[in-house]
Amino acid sequence: AQSVTQPDIHITVSEGASLELRCNYSYGATPYLFWYVQSPGQGLQLLLKYFSGDTLVQGIKGFEAEFKRSQSSFNLRKPSVHWSDAAEYFCAVGLYNQGGKLIFGQGTELSVKP
Amino acid sequence: EAGVAQSPRYKIIEKRQSVAFWCNPISGHATLYWYQQILGQGPKLLIQFQNNGVVDDSQLPKDRFSAERLKGVDSTLKIQPAKLEDSAVYLCASSLDFKFSYEQYFGPGTRLTVT
C-alpha cells in the first residue's frame, strides 16, 4: 500500500540556521511528490513538486527538495530559516493512476527560536 | 485569480446533529477533492469529483457522509448524523483536470467541532 512517513513530528531550529525535514514514501511506481506548508488556521500551500527530470527541485520561499529514488526519500531543505517559516509541513505522494489523489504524511511541526 | 472558497470557516454542533460544508473551486477547475484532516494527522481523501461525476469515494463513510457537485462547479459535503470522531478540519481542493494536472489548490478549510 502507498504510504508517506515523516519521522520527525516536531523540530525546533534557531533563526538563521539550516533546516532539513525528512520524508520517505512507499509507492510501486515513479512517484509524483509534493511538499505543502500549513500555517495555523490556514489551508495548505504548495511549496514545491517533483514529477520527473532534475532530482533537485526549487520551490517558493527559498525551499528546495531532493528526490532520491534509491532511498525512497524526498527531503525538504532551506539554508537559512526565518521566523515566518514556523508552520506545519506535509509531504505527499500523488497517485497518478488513482485519479491523482494525494497521500499525506502526518506532518512535521517546525518551531523557530530567535 | 480567486482561490478555493469554503464556508463556513468554523462550526460547532452536538453529536447526532447534521452539518453541511460548501466549496467553490477555482474557476475552470474540473476536479474537486474533499479531504478530512484530524488533529495531528495529514489530510485524508474523502471523495473526488471530475465535473459532476464521482471518481473516488472509497474512503467516504457513506452511512453518514454524502457529497454532491450537481452542476460541476460548487460542491457540498454533508454529515448526518455527526459523531464525536468527525471533529476535524474539512479541506476542499481543486485541480485543472486530474488526467493531466496533479497540482491541487486548497481552500482554508472548515473546522468542525462535535460535542
The CA distance from A15 to the nearest CA of chain B, in Å, is 25
Q: Find the residue in A nearest to B109 (Cα).
A: A43
B101 has pLDDT over 90: no
pLDDT computed for residue A27 by the predictor: 85
Q: Find the residue in B nearest to A43 (Cα).
A: B108
Distance CA A97, CA A101 (A): 9
- Residue B102 and residue A41: Cβ atoms within 8 Å? no
Distance CA B15, CA A75 (A): 41
Which among B56, B93, B109 has the least Cβ separation from residue A98? B56
Side-chain half-sphere CA neighbours of A23 within 13 A: 31
A100 has pLDDT over 90: no
**What's the whole-number average pLDDT of chain A?**
93
pLDDT computed for residue B1 by the predictor: 67
Which of A42, A102, A103, A108 has the most B C-beta neighbours within 10 Å, making it the best mutation to test the interface with B?
A: A102
A62 pLDDT band, cuts 50/70/90, is very high
The CA distance from B66 to the nearest CA of chain A, in Å, is 19
pLDDT computed for residue B97 by the predictor: 82
- Residue A104 and residue B42: Cβ atoms within 8 Å? yes
B103 pLDDT band, cuts 50/70/90, is confident
Mean pLDDT of A30-45: 90
pLDDT computed for residue B98 by the predictor: 76
The CA distance from A75 to the nearest CA of chain B, in Å, is 17
The beta strand positions in B1-115, using DSSP E, are: 5-7, 10-13, 19-24, 31-37, 44-50, 53-56, 65-68, 75-79, 88-95, 105-106, 110-114
> Could you read off the pLDDT of B34-84 as tens digits, one per residue?
999 999 899 999 999 999 899 999 999 999 999 999 888 999 999 999 999
A1 has pLDDT over 90: no
A74 pLDDT band, cuts 50/70/90, is very high
B91 pLDDT band, cuts 50/70/90, is very high
Find cell 462550526 and name the residue. Answer: B11
